[in-house]
Amino acid sequence: MSLQRAVNLYGACALVADDAVRRAWQSALPGKSDSLVSALVALATFGDLFVDELSRTLFLSHSGTTRLVNRLQEAGWATRQAGDDDADRRRVLVSLTPEGQQVVGDVLTARQKALAELLEPLSPEQREQLSGILETILHVHGSDGRSLHTTCRMCDHRVCVPCPTLEAHRAATTPGPED
């Protein structure tokens, strides 16, 4: 198979998966934006984040992220807290509430179901091969800290152990025997 065909097929599959996930989000949280859903899952995945960290993770402006956090707070899914000392007071920490955690569980369950349906036609051997291929791709592209937050912002980390992106990041940042 030519590289061009593989690239084209990979792109088409990426769109099929993206469409399935978006439909799943909308069934779990009708009328909510992709950014809001991504923020919920990112907070569940990475824990409490400062607004600027969440902004970088979601590829949103600071003001856009602030508005997003306002919507999360209005829904009762997140809280915010200013830093404790003078140097940190301008930074705002965002945390999920128990209600927010429950919503994330619903979203990830819907996501898992939608993606599992796409893989149903594959045999167990084919799923194993696909997992290996995907892990290789993620490992190659996951060696910097930014990739860790952006690539895994919609992952269900309960089922992806060990995380290939995290493993790549650790390998890239851990000194070797010669260092």
What pTM was computed for the model?
0.82
Average pLDDT over residues 38-57: 93
pLDDT of residue 176: 64
Q: What angle do CA 162, 23, 8 make, to 5 degrees?
A: 70
Tell me the pairing of strands 92-96 and 49-50: antiparallel
Residue with token string 């198979």: 1
- CATH T-level assignment (fold) for domain 1-121: Arc Repressor Mutant, subunit A (1.10.10)
Average pLDDT over residues 50-64: 93
CA distance 31 to 27: 9
pLDDT of residue 90: 67
CA of 136: how far to CAs of 18, 22, 45, 47, 178, in Å? 20, 25, 22, 26, 25
The strands making up 78-82's β-sheet, listed across from edge to edge, are 49-50, 92-96, 78-82
**Three-state secondary structure call for residue 82:** strand
Give the domain ranges of the chain.
1-121, 123-173
pLDDT of residue 19: 96
pLDDT of residue 49: 93
Could you report the per-residue pLDDT of 17-28, keeping only the tens digit for each?
A: 999 999 999 999
* Contacting residues for 91 by C-beta, under 8 A, at least 6 apart: 50, 51, 52, 82, 83
**Three-state secondary structure call for residue 80:** strand
Is residue 179's pLDDT more than 60?
no
Could you report the per-residue pLDDT of 72-118, keeping only the tens digit for each?
A: 999 999 999 986 666 665 689 999 999 999 999 999 999 999 999 99
